[in-house]
Amino acid sequence: MTGVAQSAFGFLLSVGLLVLFHELGHYLVARWCGVKVLRFSVGFGRVLASRRHGPDQTEWVISAIPLGGYVKMLDEREGEVAPEEAPRAFNRQHLGKRFAIVLAGPVANLGLAVLLYTVIFANGVEGLRPVLEAPPAGSIAQRSDLQRGDEIHRVAGSRVQTWQDLRWRVLQASGSESLVLGLDRGGSTLDRQLDLRSLKREDWEADFLGALGLHSFRPRLDAVIGELLEGKPAARAGMRPGDRVLAINGDALPDWEAVARYINARPDAELVFQVERAGVAREIVVRSESLTQGERRVGRVGISPRVDPATVAHLRVTAQYSTAESFAQAVAKTWDLSIFTLKMLKRIVFGEASLKNISGPLTMADFAGQSVAAGWIVFVGYLALISVSLGVLNLLPIPLLDGGHLMYYTAELVTGRPVSDRVADIGQRIGIAMLLLLMSLALYNDFNHLLSKF
């Protein structure tokens, strides 16, 4: 499967599943409340396939535009309703039922995220142990007396088991002035405080761990090539696994870290590798690629080091839980992600975070394709993350979204009467304008993200 096909497949599968669960939430609660459902559609626009099913002969539909879906319920405001069916119309239901039906969609997405994260935690989450490399001189980590070999166990009181846990917990502290790390050093338990005040907004949006001076422990590796990426500059130039890099452009490089640092500092440059192959020295000319990493360009040639499995084995860990523990972890993860999403939205609105953080369907498709290629557990994690985002975003008080309807119902609860048609019409216009603006910005960021790869 090509990259484009993989991205399309991953995108359609993820959007289809998320929309299906969202609309099922509305549908099931509507049926439970006695409301007649006329149509259940995954997608918008032209109908591709349909079938009637159930006691109410609900029309189940797959439509051409796979960017959403809807549940159409019997409603006197949208057409004539037979007198005998009027009690089953949505608009005839009391406020509590209407509120529950609308709320059910976002709740279904959050519930799906809990289910998916439960599967992930029960299966076991593999990762690198959060062991630190020596922090760069003058970095925040170095000033906080962190040392090579320190293993982080807690961040702000929360337990971490993998490097990904560490990254997530530190990211949650963005906007704070300081952060306390609990660590193990040679069998002793210590606490160290990181001062976060010097980090800029762009630091948090790029390699914030690197900006703090937190780097994953790297065993000292010989400058011997282990693998080459097919189609990349090194492979095209004729390099082979087992080649030992002696120097580049005449500069001697003692280990793999020095090789990687040298290449990264030279994007889109001609590099003359002096390598040893089967005891014979030779030169190979390679032109590095230029890739964007955060706000800077870095060089890549598509090589990775030869690593002794025993050297790396003790740095890997699998965090696995019982079913009950997995569910508890999943609930906590979904809650943390929901709160973090709201915090990020607040920071974007108040100008504390870049609008570049808003992405749309093209970036979603790109990430979906990457997650499909990485394996089912990564794809399930991607689905869970997007499901949380969809659930939270649908709860925002924006007309046309579920949150907009809930806002109207809250106003009805306070005033004792429904929102007027005029107010609802104005709200709908505002909602359309806001969503169009948001979609335009997301697509603009998508195209910038994709163009930066070329």
> What is the set of active-site residues?
23
Count of beta carbons in the 10 Å neighbourhood of residue 421: 9
Beta bridge partners of 275: 245, 282
Quote the DSSP letter at residue 418.
Answer: P
The Cα diameter of the chain in Å comes to 92
Write the CA distances from 411 to 30, 251, 416, integer angstroms. 22, 71, 8
3-state secondary structure (DSSP) of residue 338:
helix
**Alpha-helical runs (H) found in 219-317:** 233-237, 256-264, 309-313
Count of beta carbons in the 10 Å neighbourhood of residue 86: 12
Structure tokens at 52: 């009637």
- The residue type of 326 is S
Beta bridge partners of 185: 188
Q: What is the CA radius of gyration of the chain?
A: 27
**Alpha-helical runs (H) found in 85-240:** 95-123, 140-143, 163-172, 201-204, 208-212, 233-237
Strand boundaries in 241-328, DSSP class E: 244-248, 251-252, 270-277, 280-287, 289-293, 296-300, 303-305, 316-319
* Separation between Cα atoms, residue 232 and residue 249, nearest integer Å: 20
